[in-house]
Amino acid sequence: MKTLPDLARVFALLCVVCPATAVFGCDQIPAGQSLWIRLSAPVSTYTAKVGDPVHAVLTQDLVCDNDVILPMGTPIEGVVRSRHKVGWGIRHETASLELEFNRAALTPDAVSFTARVDEVDNARESVRNGVIHGIRSTNTFQGSINSRLIHLPTWNPYSDAVLIAYKAVFPIFPEPEIYYPAGTDIRLRTTTEIASPASRINPEPDASPAATLEAERFDQVVAQLPLRVTTRKHVDADLLNIVLIGSEDQVRSAFHVAGWHNADPASRHAWMENLYALLNNSSYTQQPMMTLLLNDKPEDMNWQKNLNSYGRRDHLRIWHWNFPESDDSVWVSSSTHDTGAVLNVKARGFVHHIASDIDEERSAVIRDLNFEGCVRSVSYIARPQMPTVSRNAIGDVMRTDGNVAVIVLQDCRPRDSLPDASADTHSFKPGNYAFRYIRRQILTLRNDIWRANIIYGAYHVGRMTFQALHHSPQLTATPADQKRPLDARVQSSTIGDQTFFDADPY
């Protein structure tokens, strides 16, 4: 049993150790950190070899206890750990690529760590255990019909001469190799600690009277906003989660510089482009969007960003908001991330489903605009009346912390061009037409041997039916959903041309 003097010594020791831990807690950042990077040179299974260097830059500050450990724009270097290409399609039906990043090339210091790929933003490929897995070219909408569903009544995959001819000449066949151009956004997950460099940036909060007045004005703007927008049939749709302060030219310039695109209006041409992207399992850069209404008014502009997937994209709609108490132009937005396009029986067609965590998309928008120097400051304003868990117009669950991000724009100041890695780039041509045609027939034959039969066809139909009719998850708020910030505002601080903020303040 400890005596009072013993307890006093233990208490004194804790008083010494705890402050020291607080001071040196960021000397090493533990593993498991999420890092967003952007490729500064293309990488592909066409020509990449094990050991080839991979070049990227950090697109968001790595912050610890208000210290910027790694600022955005820091060059990140990696290496190709493994690569399997499809080639002729004889040995491999799908491609795979493993990248490992191991160095932040700070000046004058360099920081070593180890990180694996956790996600390739808006990519059709999947990532498992740090390895990027390519698509199967025959796993497409038309492939499901001509290689599986059509064979349900028969055991013989080659009983139809017309079908054989169709497979021989059908021109749309997705490219199975993996190719990511410069500008591809990738999320990494660190597997080792990150040693803090000797030099750090410690931004001080802006507590000036002007900043206080600006923050109060933001409260007034957000307090007047509706919670969400509606469809043309007045069905509740997306939540409003972003406010942009700036001129129309600044808004358009910011998204244009950040690589976002407007949506095409609905037309016959857009319908054909949509069909091709669906059949080819590829992206449609200006894919049309459903019109949503804010106080019965359609959006004034819309923006989207994608990579190589028909179903995955960042997208948002923007409305001009009349706020007489301010001389600034105020724009409000609902942003969500599409995760896939599926056949929906109730909708009688294909619909896009969204990621449930809409705060992630809010952070992605801020990250993109801030990286291009278009953001002066960011504030998060709490809206206690906003539900933390709700559904959109098609029944997808939306989870949020209830905050609205208020982004004050400035004229964009794009950073210098990405590091020149031209010496390490190669030709990324997928091969001539004759090679691709022969490979297509080989991959089709492989697919028919394994999947063009009544057993696999029945399994495939059952899985499609289950996905189409599967009920959406219940609207159950988790403890994290129910948390509310003690302070309704998190005000960013600005130092020079650089804005520092926490992408996930709560």
DSSP 13-34: HHHHHHHHHHHHTTSEEPS--E
Residue pair 288/270 in contact (Cβ under 8 Å)? The answer is yes
Let me know if residue 437 belongs to a domain. no
- Mean pLDDT across the stretch 497-506? 31
Residue 46 CA to chain centroid, in angstroms?
A: 25
Let me know if residue 165 belongs to a domain. no
Residues 228 and 122 in one domain: no
Residues 339 and 298 in one domain: yes
Let me know if residue 277 belongs to a domain. yes
CATH number at residue 53: 2.40.128.260
Q: What local confidence, expressed as pLDDT, does residue 344 receive?
A: 61
Let me know if residue 293 belongs to a domain. yes
Torsion of CA 19, 24, 26, 31, to 10 degrees: -100
H helices of 372-453, in order, are 433-451
Let me know if residue 220 belongs to a domain. yes
Q: What is the spatial distance between Cα 39 and Cα 99, in angstroms, rounded to a whole number? A: 12
Torsion of CA 193, 197, 202, 203, to 10 degrees: -90
Site of tokens 């995955």:
312
Residues 242 and 130 in one domain: no
Q: What is the spatial distance between Cα 92 and Cα 136, in angstroms, rounded to a whole number? A: 10
Among 351, 409, 405, which residue's Cα sits nearest to residue 383? Answer: 405
Let me know if residue 448 belongs to a domain. no
Q: Are strands 242-245 and 403-409 parallel, antiparallel or unpaired?
A: parallel
Q: What local confidence, expressed as pLDDT, does residue 139 receive?
A: 83
Q: Average pLDDT over the chain, rounded to whole?
A: 80
Residues 289 and 319 in one domain: yes
Query: What number of other Cβ atoms are within 10 A of residue 226's Cβ?
Result: 12
Site of tokens 């991330």:
337
Please give the full DSSP string across 154-184, using - where no structure is assigned.
-S-TT--HHHHHHHHH-------S-EE-TT-
- Any idea which of 256-265, 271-280, 336-345, 401-410 has the lowest mean pLDDT? 336-345
pLDDT interval class at 123 (50, 70, 90): very high
Comparing 468 with 287, the larger pLDDT belongs to 287
| 140, two tokens | 């497409």
Residues 275 and 189 in one domain: no
Residues 277 and 378 in one domain: yes
Instruction: Work out how many domains the chain is built from and give that number.
Output: 2
* Cα distances (Å, whole numbers) of residue 373 to 210, 339, 376, 412, 417: 22, 28, 8, 5, 13
H, E, C per residue of 446-472: HHHHHHCCHHHHHHHHHHHHHHHHCCC
Residues 72 and 214 in one domain: no
Among 123, 390, 371, which residue's Cα sits nearest to residue 241? Answer: 390
Q: What is the spatial distance between Cα 428 and Cα 443, in angstroms, rounded to a whole number? A: 21
Residue pair 173/430 in contact (Cβ under 8 Å)? The answer is no
Residues 236 and 341 in one domain: yes
193-205 pLDDT, tens digit per residue, is 988 776 666 665 5
Helix %, strand %, coil % of the chain (to 5)? 25, 30, 45
Q: What local confidence, expressed as pLDDT, does residue 99 receive?
A: 98
3-state DSSP assignment of residue 222: helix
Residues 485 and 377 in one domain: yes
Please tell me what DSSP assigns to residue 292: -
Residues 190 and 228 in one domain: no
Q: What local confidence, expressed as pLDDT, does residue 301 receive?
A: 96
Does residue 55 carry a pLDDT above 90?
Answer: yes
303-336 pLDDT, tens digit per residue, is 999 999 989 999 999 999 987 766 679 999 999 9
| 199, two tokens | 């030099």
Go through the chain and tell me how many residues it has: 506
Q: What is the spatial distance between Cα 85 and Cα 134, in angstroms, rounded to a whole number? A: 9
Q: What local confidence, expressed as pLDDT, does residue 110 receive?
A: 86
Among 31, 24, 116, 107, which residue's Cα sits nearest to residue 71? Answer: 107
Handedness of CA 444, 447, 453, 459 (dihedral sign): negative
Residues 64 and 100 in one domain: yes
Q: Which residues pair with 397 in a beta bridge?
A: 391
Q: What local confidence, expressed as pLDDT, does residue 113 receive?
A: 93
Let me know if residue 163 belongs to a domain. no
3-state DSSP assignment of residue 277: helix
Let me know if residue 303 belongs to a domain. yes
H helices of 240-394, in order, are 248-257, 268-280, 358-371
Q: What is the spatial distance between Cα 310 and Cα 284, in angstroms, rounded to a whole number? A: 6
State which of 404-418, 422-436, 475-489 shows the largest mean pLDDT: 404-418
Q: What local confidence, expressed as pLDDT, does residue 428 receive?
A: 64
The residue out of 199, 233, 252 marking a domain boundary is 199
- Mean pLDDT across the stretch 85-100? 95
Query: What number of other Cβ atoms are within 10 A of residue 323's Cβ?
Result: 18
- Any idea which of 11-25, 71-85, 280-294, 355-369 has the lowest mean pLDDT? 11-25
**Percent of the chain's residues with pLDDT above 70:** 73
Domain limits at 45? 30-134+185-199
State which of 193-197, 299-303, 458-462, 497-501 shows the largest mean pLDDT: 299-303
Sequence-ordered list of residues with C-beta below 8 angstroms from that of 268, at least 6 positions apart, any chain: none
Sequence-ordered list of residues with C-beta below 8 angstroms from that of 371, at least 6 positions apart, any chain: 38, 59, 60, 72, 73, 258, 415
Q: What local confidence, expressed as pLDDT, does residue 411 receive?
A: 95
Comparing 165 with 473, the larger pLDDT belongs to 165
Residues 193 and 238 in one domain: no
